[in-house]
A = this chain, B = another copy of it.
């Protein structure tokens, strides 16, 4: 079979994507000759497109031609005007509820049952929560010592992770939007990977108090250390070591058990996307998502600014008016947030996205939502909220990778699948991250960092269901602890970057 030159996604499209770099003069198909050198992943015009006319990809208008574009021309981000975003107040809902989902190869996995009754754990971790950044310095020194002196005694415990963050003091704790960072920290303290063990370090004079972090029943001397109550640094380290030793002994008793998929919650995210993301990595992730949902699992997808321009397609998949209304509310919240900061949605995409052929946020959004597959959407969450339903859920978060991760962790995900086109060494300390790349070149380049290569779809060497099934199986293997993801193997993880739309004082 001759190598594919270009990919056209939808019948209606008047552009296609170059599978590899295309030289000027190359005959693409009958009557279409590349007018210029066209970089890999970039768009080529399949018709003449006069100034002001629609440029169509994924069957939707991604923009309007600024000047006349000739058949065979390279179309880049400087050549199209942004359409107005779809309105959110009158969205249709429940008009596209797909029931015909792919069958998952297995319906069970091996996880740590949650003593609090929620989703199960995928790893066994001592999490050390802090109320405030001021505790970070002491906690880090203590954790280094715990890992050296305590962790080797408890072979069933995977790791000790401090939740260091920039919140807690010097913030407007009563600002309307402070509820987001507060909810994030409250919810992440109960992460399923912590096995119900709570260890909290506070300073004693901070604005975000232990009372705000923990429910009353949890505020015991077994769970909480206040640094200002202790006689100096040596006493602090001593107290933290003692508490960690007790918690580790309990965690060491945890064992994996056979569980149904309904005990598993994972998150989907993409970062460093390119024009292949929407036709390879994200659809494969969507296929795996559909299998998971069909099997009873819960899957979160996120990134408000990368959903905004395709929100009408998400609305149609919401199971009822309540879900669709909350979807609209989250979009409106973000529209206002951007407006207050004197920017608009064109702040996304990034230079790397553009280099990767993504001309604007509409094109990026159409590719981004492919990771949600086709399942009905049963719930919409505000940032860092925990779900009350099982199935496919839109969990509103910023599109920023580094902020989306902590939000989804607070929602309780046990694993994240991360699709990338340009490549990022992204990882989370609290849950394994499986990386899926959109191009074969990316897999060649970062063979030791990419877990699953969806680029085979673009080169015609695999189908979306094939890569989707491979990814499903990888999710089950990694969640069950039978495999480590590459990021996990090298201990790669980002900082816990909280989403705080409120103020610093």
Q: Which residues of A contact B (CB under 8 A)?
A: 133-138, 141, 164, 166, 169-177, 203-207, 209, 227-228, 231-234, 236, 271-272, 305, 337-338, 340-343, 345, 347-348, 350-353, 355-356, 398-403, 422-427, 445-449, 486-487, 490-495, 497, 499, 501-505
Contacts and interface: CB of A to CB of B under 8 A. Distances in A.
B445 A347 contact: no
B232 A447 contact: yes
A205 B422 contact: yes
Given A175-B341, A490-B233, A505-B338, A134 B424 contact: yes
Nearest to A502: B341
Given A232-B448, A337-B503, A490-B141, A350 B425 contact: no
Which residue, of A206, A234, A400, A445, has the highest number of chain B Cβ atoms within 10 A? A400
Nearest to A165: B495
Given A137-B426, A501-B504, A174 B494 contact: no
Contact of A347 (B351, B355, B356, B503): B503
Contacts of A355: 205
Given A141-B492, A233-B446, A352 B402 contact: no
Given A205-B352, A505-B338, A423 B228 contact: yes
A347 B178 CA distance: 12
Given A137-B427, A205-B350, 10 more contacts: A134-B494, A137-B425, A166-B497, A175-B341, A204-B422, A204-B423, A205-B353, A207-B350, A228-B423, A233-B486
Contacts of A505: 305, 338, 343, 345, 347-348, 398-400
A133 B496 CA distance: 10
B446 A352 contact: no
Given A166-B495, A204-B352, A174 B503 contact: no
A404 to B, nearest CB: 8
Q: Which 9 A-B pairs have the closest CB atoms?
A: A205-B352, A170-B400, A137-B492, A341-B503, A172-B343, A205-B422, A172-B347, A166-B497, A133-B402
6 contacts: A137-B487, A141-B491, A171-B400, A172-B338, A172-B347, A207-B350
